[in-house]
Amino acid sequence: MEYGQTALPSHTGSVGQEIYALASEIFPLCRSITGQGVRDTLDILACYIPLERRSVRTDERLFDWTVPKEWVIRDAFIKDEAGRRIVDFHACNLHVVSYSTPVHRRMPLEELRRHIHTLPDQPHLIPYRTSYYAESWGFCMAHEQLEALSPGIYEVRIDSELKDGRLDYGELVVPGTSGREFLLSAHVCHPSLANDNCSGLALLAILARQLRGMDTRYTYRFIFAPGTIGALAWLAQNEQRLHLIDMGLVISCVGDAGGPTYKRSRRGNTFIDRAVEHVLKHCGRKAEIRDFSPYGYDERQYCSPGFNLPVGLFQHSPFGEFPEYHTSADNLDFIAPEHLERAYRTLAEVIRVAEGNWTPLNLSPKGEPQLGRRGLYGSTGGDKAAADGAMAMLWVLNLADGTHTLLDIAERAGLPFARIAEAAGRLKEKGLLAEAAPPTSSSWQEAI
């Protein structure tokens, strides 16, 4: 297989369809930062990859944070005077503010309104709201439904519990030969939100399954953890090994038709920043590259000044900037297999850059080597493909002075990394190049 191609799992017609199927399987679960929904989600992911389960007890200190009590939710509803459920947690788990404390009361509509969240600008949608660290209770519903309610007495019940328990997260390590690590992380704390949660979890699970058993240079560490508090739990439990991480990506919102969008790491010009930007430059779509900001997903924990890890954020549409974000419209109709597959292929190409990057040394540096007599230069003029290939070889030969990596050369030449890597491989086979840096393995090229 030529460099840059992507082989899909042989037992399915499309990797995008497989990712979509997994996202659909975990979509109905009521996840929060703790509780059974998180454990059930990790159970499903563990059917695809051998997750290692980790947990942290309630009240355990994590830097400046404390693990909250575990949230249990069994049922929730609002009933009208006729006893009909006009809001039902079992119909849509977004109806309950996450981490709501228990309540069972009868109250007039005027009082009930103070505990209901709606979206007046999107009156047919149910919002997603949380109350993790301040005890309160509430419901979410469509604004048009709220406006249609008649004055009267309503029965309100949230059958929930806050108890001593634990915070759970999952981790998978795919070992490589160098001991250096590539971190990939997705949050596992949102309920039924397809793009902002399920898409990233499903994509990383399928990617991890494809990487397992391959010969890779990097060790790939996959983390499936509740947002903020879960990432802090992992950081606290792994502080002694953080120096091994050479690069990382947080993945979310990768199932929609937008983007792609990349937010740089706090350092701004690390290898992962350059690699992703290079891949997106040649992806055939208009990509947006953003500088780091201390707001977003768990990249802000990995990039906090005490750690300052080289971790960026990869998305399609940016969080908070698409109208479906944190609403009931972020459902399985909003994401699609073709968009999930596009994100998968983007990550696969970033991995190829990471795995395939090496520093070449020109063994015939005095003047330009004669490519024609080595079968590296077409004898017939006018062939654009041959001319493009020759230009890639000329760039490699000219910059192969032992100080430039293949990514350096690809950036300087304005050519896709795959083309530069292929040219370097051909030149090496003909004895014109040697490696000025340790060799990399190659089986990953055949199967991602």
Domain end residue (candidates: 163, 181, 204): 163
- Pick the closest to residue 349 from 140, 207, 206, 173 (CA basis): 207
Number of domains in the chain: 3
* 77: containing domain: 70-163
Residues 103 and 156 in one domain: yes
Is 196 annotated in some ligand binding site?
A: yes
- Residue 9 in any domain: the answer is no
Q: In what order do the strands lie in the sheet with 153-163?
A: 85-88, 70-79, 153-163, 103-108
Identity of the residue numbered 194: A
Residues 441 and 417 in one domain: yes
- Residue 171 in any domain: the answer is yes
pLDDT, tens digit, for every residue of 386-411? 567 789 999 999 999 999 999 999 99
- What pLDDT band is residue 373 in, cutting at 50, 70 and 90? confident
pLDDT, tens digit, for every residue of 262-292? 999 999 999 999 999 999 999 999 999 999 9
Residues of the chain with pLDDT > 90: what percent?
88
* Secondary structure class of 78 (helix, strand, coil): strand
* Secondary structure class of 310 (helix, strand, coil): coil
Look at residue 12 and tell me whether its pLDDT is greater than 50: no
Chain CA centroid to CA 372, Å: 45
pLDDT, tens digit, for every residue of 26-50? 999 999 999 999 999 999 999 999 9
- What pLDDT band is residue 7 in, cutting at 50, 70 and 90? very low
Look at residue 441 and tell me whether its pLDDT is greater than 90: no
Q: How many CB atoms lie within 10 A of CB 122?
A: 17
Is 143 annotated in some ligand binding site?
A: no
Domain end residue (candidates: 163, 195, 220): 163
Look at residue 4 and tell me whether its pLDDT is greater than 80: no
CATH of the domain at 230: 3.40.630.10
Residues 327 and 388 in one domain: no
Rounded CA separation 197/27 (Å): 9
Give the position of tokens 């840059």: 4
Residues 320 and 225 in one domain: yes
Chain CA centroid to CA 168, Å: 19
Contact of 263 with 290, CB cutoff 8 Å:
yes
DSSP per-residue codes, 98-114: BTPPPEEEEEEHHHHGG
- Give pLDDT, residue 386: 59
Look at residue 217 and tell me whether its pLDDT is greater than 70: yes
Look at residue 186 and tell me whether its pLDDT is greater than 70: yes
- Residue 5 in any domain: the answer is no
Residues 204 and 241 in one domain: yes
Residues 128 and 203 in one domain: no
Domain end residue (candidates: 163, 187, 216): 163
pLDDT, tens digit, for every residue of 319-354? 999 999 999 999 999 999 999 999 999 999 999 999
Cα dist. 305→230, 266, 350, 441 in Å?
A: 18, 9, 25, 33
Rounded CA separation 394/400 (Å): 10
Q: How many CB atoms lie within 10 A of CB 13?
A: 11
φ, ψ of residue 255 to 5 degrees: the values are: -110, 0
CATH of the domain at 403: 1.10.10.10
Residues 61 and 126 in one domain: no
- Residue 8 in any domain: the answer is no
- Give pLDDT, residue 381: 47
Residues 311 and 327 in one domain: yes
Per-residue tokens: 28: 């109905």
Residues 196 and 265 in one domain: yes
Comparing 231-235, 307-311, 381-385, which segment has the lowest mean pLDDT? Answer: 381-385
Is 190 annotated in some ligand binding site?
A: yes
Rounded CA separation 279/302 (Å): 23
Residues 214 and 150 in one domain: no
Identity of the residue numbered 335: I
Give all strands (DSSP E) within 202-359, no chain letters.
Answer: 219-225, 245-251, 261-263, 288-290, 311-315
* Secondary structure class of 61 (helix, strand, coil): strand
- Give pLDDT, residue 385: 58
Contact of 295 with 427, CB cutoff 8 Å:
no
Residues 218 and 341 in one domain: yes
Residues 344 and 218 in one domain: yes
